[in-house]
């Protein structure tokens, strides 16, 4: 148990970024026995950060403590308030993490106080739901209040692992894997009630029956009608979730691209694993790429601030800043502008993000109002049972038990 705590502490200090499936995370897992404890601890501390700091600060005379001590206090406080472990062992084990002798007394005293006081209900929304205060204020400017409550509520709980079933190999209801259930919205989705082994080692994954992918992501290609042999471009394709789905759905001529060189190998492996063949794999910046063809369909699953995936990686909420939204929207606008000329007249562009900002969603796509007709996808979403906010250009999915927030807008080109 002590080694679990040390690993958790080191990972939290490093603030690992690539989420639950990162190699670093699984390497760490291979050292520990109590995986569930370890996972709950890391994500719990990240998820409750604002609340934990509020509790800790209320007991600190000098709020300015070294980051290592703050991390240790968060680990201890989280366990005291949100787990059933006996307080004395939490306090003792946490104090042992402190390397600087001069801080051992302080950590010990604070944790003891917290164990006596217990959980205190805060009044303010940002503390109750542990989200950055500025972010809630920002969301209030453009989102319905019930949407904000939904996102705050669902961000309190870990997201279940989801996957897409490869229809070319098997129907969802014939697939046999322990602890899986059909997803409520995607007709090709499954979710794992619990997952006990390394998901990358599951034979149904290795042999191409399933692809790990969020349920929202699965919905995007399902909003489009493909025709055999038409030309489709996926501009920001890695790790290939939507690109492989497109080829599972229809034999189109699919050209895919991603700016990051190291992700090209991942893309190639995904297509190989699923026994699918794209026409070409490119490695360019979509803001500047030049293409030979004009395409019937262009997918832009844009690089974004990823606020919609906070349930999978709560750290994203603390990393993002408002300034980033504008910067990212500039990149997104550049990508659409550059690719617009490679879209055939009446061709469609599918723009999507996994974020909840007005800059990167509504404000980005509405710039194409003079040149495009925005396809009304509301009815299609209703068929999938998805609740959404419609902004006149696209839709933002409401989060629910399995579905995470996602924005999608489909533009039909009417003018160059
Ligand atoms: C949201 S992810 C795409 C996910 C992918 N479509 C899927 O479904 O698996 C965004 C991708 O855009 C890539 N990217 C970022 N900036 C880019 C650019 N300027 N041109 C092309 N790709 C870019 C990133 O490397 C990243 O893989």
Residue 26: its pLDDT value, please?
64
| Residue 354: active-site member | yes
Counting beta carbons within 10 angstroms of the beta carbon of residue 403, is it exposed (0 to 12), middle (13 to 18) or buried (19 or more)?
buried
Helix, strand, or coil (residue 197): coil
Cross-strand bridge partners of residue 410: 350
What ligand 1 atom has the least distance to the C-alpha of 289?
Answer: 20
Cβ atoms of 248 and 315 within 8 Å: the answer is no
Measure the CA–CA gap between 362 and 295, rounded to whole angstroms: 24
Evaluate: CB of 239 within 6 angstroms of ligand 1: yes
In the chain, ranges of CATH 3.40.50.150 domains: 219-413
258, 263, 286, 330, best to mutate for ligand 1 pocket (most atoms within 8 Å of CB): 258
Whether the CB-CB separation of 381 and 395 falls below 8 Å is answered with yes
Helices (H), 34-100: 35-47, 49-59, 67-82, 87-97
Closest-lying ligand 1 atom to the alpha carbon of residue 217: 8
Residue 236 in contact with ligand 1 by CB distance below 6 A: yes
| Predicted local distance difference test score (pLDDT) of residue 40 | 84
Q: What residue's CA is closest to ligand 1, atom 7?
A: 241
Q: How far is the CA of 106 from the centre of ligand 1 (A)?
A: 45
Looking at ligand 1, which residue's alpha carbon is closest to its atom 11?
A: 236
Q: Which pLDDT score, from 0 to 100, does residue 199 have?
A: 83
CB of 258 closer than 6 angstroms to any ligand 1 atom: yes
pLDDT for position 50? 96
- The per-residue pLDDT for range 265-280, each reduced to its tens digit, is 999 999 999 999 999 9
Residue 88 CB partners (closer than 8 Å, separation 6+): none
CATH number of 2-117: 1.10.940.10
> Which residue ranges does the chain devote to CATH 1.10.940.10?
2-117
187 lines ligand 1 (CB under 6 A): no
Q: What is the pLDDT of residue 6?
A: 84
Tens of pLDDT along the chain (416 residues) come to: 567 788 788 878 876 666 555 666 666 655 555 567 777 888 899 999 999 999 999 999 998 999 999 999 999 999 999 999 999 999 999 999 999 899 999 999 999 999 999 999 999 999 999 999 999 999 999 999 999 999 999 999 888 999 999 999 999 999 999 999 999 999 999 999 987 777 888 999 999 999 999 999 999 999 999 999 999 999 999 999 999 999 999 999 999 999 999 999 999 999 999 999 999 999 999 999 999 999 999 999 999 999 999 998 888 998 899 999 999 999 999 999 999 999 999 999 999 999 999 999 999 999 999 999 999 999 999 999 999 999 999 999 999 999 999 999 999 999 99
pLDDT at 22: 64
Catalytic-labelled residue, pool 328, 354, 365, 411: 354
The pLDDT of residue 200 is 84
> For residue 161, how far is its CA from the centre of ligand 1 (angstroms)?
21
CATH class of 219-413: alpha beta
Q: Render pLDDT for 288-333 as a digit per residue (tens, 0 to 9).
A: 999 999 999 999 999 999 999 999 888 899 889 999 999 999 999 9
- 336 Cβ below 6 A of ligand 1: no
Q: What is the pLDDT of residues 157-178, one digit of tens each?
A: 888 999 999 999 999 999 999 9
Per-residue confidence (pLDDT) for residue 35, from 0 to 100: 67
Residues with Cβ within 8 Å of residue 190, at least 6 apart in sequence? 162, 163, 164, 165, 172, 175, 177, 180, 181, 182, 183, 210
Give me the phi and psi of 313, to 5 degrees please. -140, 90
In this structure, the residue with its CA closest to atom 27 of ligand 1 is 238
Please give the distance, rounded to the nearest whole angstrom, from the Cα atom of residue 238 to the centre of ligand 1. 6
Give the residue, by CA position, lying nearest to ligand 1 atom 6. Answer: 237
**Pocket probe mutation, ligand 1, options 236, 298, 302, 309, max atoms within 8 Å of Cβ:** 236
Q: With b meaning 16 or more CB within 10 Å and e meaning fewer, what string describes 279-289?
A: eebbbeebbeb
Q: Whose CA is nearest to atom 16 of ligand 1?
A: 303
**What is the number of the ligand 1 atom nearest to the C-alpha of 353?**
1
């Amino acid at each position: 148990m002590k080694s679990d705590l040390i690993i958790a502490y080191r990972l939290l200090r490093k603030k690992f970024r690539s989420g639950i499936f990162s190699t670093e995370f699984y390497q760490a897992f291979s050292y520990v026995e109590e995986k569930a404890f370890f996972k709950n601890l890391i994500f719990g501390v990240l998820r409750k950060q604002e609340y934990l700091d509020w509790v800790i600060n209320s007991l600190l005379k000098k709020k300015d403590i070294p980051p290592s001590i703050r991390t240790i206090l968060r680990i201890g406080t989280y366990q005291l308030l949100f787990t059933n472990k006996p307080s004395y062992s939490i306090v003792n084990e946490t104090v042992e993490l402190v390397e600087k002798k001069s801080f051992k007394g302080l950590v010990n005293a604070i944790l003891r106080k917290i164990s006596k006081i217990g959980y205190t209900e805060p009044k303010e929304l940002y503390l109750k739901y542990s989200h950055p205060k500025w972010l809630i204020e920002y969301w209030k400017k453009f989102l319905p209040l019930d949407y904000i409550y939904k996102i705050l509520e669902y961000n309190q709980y870990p997201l279940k692992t989801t996957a897409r079933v490869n229809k070319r190999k098997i129907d969802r209801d014939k697939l046999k894997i322990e602890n899986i259930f059909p997803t409520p919205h995607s007709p090709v989705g499954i979710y794992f009630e619990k997952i006990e082994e390394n998901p990358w080692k599951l034979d149904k994954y290795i042999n191409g029956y399933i692809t790990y992918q969020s349920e929202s992501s699965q919905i995007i290609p399902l909003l489009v009608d493909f025709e055999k042999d038409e030309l489709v471009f996926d501009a920001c394709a890695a790790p290939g979730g939507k690109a492989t789905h497109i080829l599972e759905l229809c034999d189109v001529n699919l050209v895919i691209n991603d700016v990051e060189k190291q992700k090209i190998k991942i893309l190639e492996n995904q297509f190989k694993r699923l026994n699918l063949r794209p026409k070409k794999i490119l490695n360019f910046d979509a803001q500047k790429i030049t293409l030979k063809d004009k395409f019937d369909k262009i997918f832009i699953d844009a690089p974004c601030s990823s606020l919609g995936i906070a349930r999978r990686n709560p750290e994203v909420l603390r990393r993002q800043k408002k300034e980033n939204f504008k910067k990212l929207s500039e990149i997104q606008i550049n990508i659409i502008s550059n690719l617009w000329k490679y879209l055939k007249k009446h061709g469609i562009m599918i723009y999507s993000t996994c974020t909840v900002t007005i800059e990167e969603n509504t404000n980005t796509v509405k710039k194409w109002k003079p040149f495009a007709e925005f396809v009304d996808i509301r009815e299609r979403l209703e068929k999938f049972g998805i609740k959404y906010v419609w902004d006149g250009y696209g839709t933002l999915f409401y989060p629910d038990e399995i579905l995470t927030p996602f924005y999608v807008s489909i533009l039909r080109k009417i003018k160059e």
